[in-house]
Amino acid sequence: MILLNPNNLKRYYPDDTTRDLMHKTIQFFEAKGKCKIKADDHARAWYDDFLGFVKEEKLFARLLTPSTYGQGEDYRWDTWRNCEFNEILAFYGLAYWYTWQVSILGLGPIWMSDNETLKRKAAQLLEAGEVFAFGLSEREHGADIYSTEMSLDPQPGGGYRANGEKYYIGNANIAPMVSTFGKMADSGEYVFFTADYRHQDYELVKNITASQNYVGQYILHDYPIAEDEILSQGWDAWNAALNTINVGKYNLGWASIGICTHAFYESINHAANRRLYDMYVTDFPHVKRTFTDAYARLVAMKLFALRAADYMRAASPEDRRYLLYNPMVKMKVTLQGEDVINLLWDVIAAKGFEHDTYFEMAARDIRALPKLEGTVHVNIALIVKFMPNYFFNPKEYEPLPRQDSPKNDDFLFNQGQARGLGRIRFHDYNLALNSRELPNLDVFKEQVAVFKEFLAMATPNEGQRKNTDFLLTLGELFALVVYSQLILENAPIYEIEDALLDQIFDFMVRDFSQFALQLHNKPSTTSQQMEYCTRMLRKPVVDEARFQRVWQEHVYALKDLYEMRA
């Protein structure tokens, strides 16, 4: 089974230490129990117990320390096992995932730096159980790093004084190394440096959110920065900012997967054991359809995110394809997570509001993920840059197997320039689309062919290319093609049977039609473009036998498979 099941963790792990870390993490949360997790959530209680567990087991140290700076062979930055840890943390609560996520972001500029002293300091702090923070965004400018107002003033006797404010910074209350982005006051050059929350010139203003997490506002008042506390300057600092976000935002999709999986178990258990009008809720045809659609979307989310991890791990200066797939995990997978929760909520209805359910947290927290580390529209605008090469200028690459070997992901912290996205080339997506013959996949391929013809023969004009509203819908159609490609590449690796894969393309055909209709109705769409959009509107192939097989063997089979103890 592709979905996480804490009661039956029969999953491949490359080494005993990884298996032990994942099992112990699950045991920690299962021992804590749902009642205590929910009580802490409602009380907005700081998660000292979890951070104590992280320290005791050296979890962050083992998982987030590159092998060069680690204390043993099991210390490495291994995206494949970090995906699993992402999923497990969010499965039990987004608050636990968040402190891990912002530590990843805070460590990015450190591991990307040439400052060996600060790297070794970070490794020592990880070993001691500390967490990290990423001081990038500001209250007036958000994540617009062009406009950052944090400044470093050179001092006559050497060193600098930092002045400025950062806003929306997770772990800002306890991170002894806060990677802070700013500009040199004299030259305007970008700079990354580290600050310590314990310093007297570090003012922790407040927690700006109403949650268990501390998402801080902090101000530096003439904070002294020595030369050896500078991580990077100039374009190195700029690249560190963007590359850190590229590495870190991928994790948001995994948080969505973890949340949706737990919510799915809870929902199917409730519906399958509840009788209404002398029927079990899961006997109603519309409920079967809703659950099956949610399940197909959830499996697709995980297949895509797993495959994107392969490309991250295999990346090199000559192969940066992951820079398309990575924002897709952040944008597409998190939006699909919202769809999954909405579908489940339509079934369980009022149950989803009850204070003692996991679902009550899931319904709230799933909304956050598309809105963090760059909003959805920012990431769609990013991926549109890849569209010309993706469709019209493919390149041959060797087939990429699953990248699950226990090794350090060196390239992620040695990427160099974050620019030149439009020059990245991709392998031919048709290799994946033509790898299977399935009724709904065939319909989807016809839609994609029309979309490519649209781009070639009814190419968006200059005004449309500058129109964000138009581009966002165009980007959604492009995203579905990329989504389908990686799902199809991963289907044989994870032994996804034809019936389930065709059920996935049932919703893919519907979604493609939905966005084609939206594009058709945009104010600026031309009559020629509208004709192409009309040709993209298709209905999935109806196959009741296929549907019933997926329902019985995959969806309803999850009934009573997992329930967290009170």
Q: What is the pLDDT of residues 332-352, one digit of tens each?
A: 999 999 999 999 999 999 999
Residue 541 scores a pLDDT above 70: yes
Confidence of residue 321 (pLDDT cuts 50, 70, 90): very high
- 313-340: average pLDDT: 94
- Rounded Cα gap, residues 425 and 320, in angstroms: 8
Residue 418 scores a pLDDT above 90: no
Residues 460, 352 share a domain: yes
Q: What does the mean pLDDT of the chain come to?
A: 94
Question: Domain limits at 527?
Answer: 239-393+421-557
Q: Is residue 401 situated within a structural domain?
A: no
Residues 293, 226 share a domain: no
Q: In this predicted structure, what is the pLDDT of residue 128?
A: 98
Q: Which of 259, 224, 214, 273 is nearest to 45 (CA)?
A: 214
- 411-430: average pLDDT: 87
Considering only 12-21, 177-186, 263-272, which range has the smallest mean pLDDT?
12-21
Q: In this predicted structure, what is the pLDDT of residue 377?
A: 62
CATH code for the domain of 217: 2.40.110.10
Residues 155, 73 share a domain: no
The residue among 81, 112, 127 that closes a domain is 127
Return the beta strands (E) in 252-349 as ranges.
Answer: 275-276, 279-280
Helix 334-348 vs helix 235-272: angle between axes, to the nearest 10 degrees? 20
- Rounded Cα gap, residues 123 and 121, in angstroms: 5
Residue 354 scores a pLDDT above 60: yes
**DSSP-based three-state secondary structure for 294:** helix
Q: In this predicted structure, what is the pLDDT of residue 382?
A: 75
- Rounded Cα gap, residues 176 and 163, in angstroms: 18
Q: In this predicted structure, what is the pLDDT of residue 142?
A: 81
Residues 320, 176 share a domain: no
Residue 274 scores a pLDDT above 70: yes
Contact 358, 263 (CB under 8 A): yes
pTM: 0.96
Q: In this predicted structure, what is the pLDDT of residue 246?
A: 86
The residue among 127, 150, 174 that closes a domain is 127
- Rounded Cα gap, residues 111 and 70, in angstroms: 12
Confidence of residue 150 (pLDDT cuts 50, 70, 90): very high
Q: In this predicted structure, what is the pLDDT of residue 378?
A: 67
- Residue 70 identity (one-letter amino acid): G
Residues 227, 143 share a domain: yes
Considering only 143-152, 284-293, 448-457, 517-526, which range has the smallest mean pLDDT?
143-152
DSSP state, residue 279: E
Which pLDDT tens digit goes with each residue over 95-123? 999 999 999 999 999 999 999 999 999 99
The residue among 237, 255, 279 that closes a domain is 237
Residues 436, 374 share a domain: yes
Token pair listed for 155: 């001092």
Residues 524, 383 share a domain: yes
Residues 492, 350 share a domain: yes
Confidence of residue 370 (pLDDT cuts 50, 70, 90): confident
Residues 287, 309 share a domain: yes
Residues 347, 210 share a domain: no
Which pLDDT tens digit goes with each residue over 278-315? 899 999 999 999 999 999 999 999 999 999 999 999 99
Contact 295, 282 (CB under 8 A): no
Distances (CA, A) of 408 to 66, 77, 125, 307: 6, 5, 19, 18
Residue 375 scores a pLDDT above 60: no
Q: Is residue 564 situated within a structural domain?
A: no
CATH code for the domain of 100: 1.10.540
Residues 146, 101 share a domain: no
**What percent of the chain is helix, strand and coil (3-state, nearest 5)?**
60, 10, 30
Residues 338, 311 share a domain: yes
Q: How many domains does the chain have?
A: 3
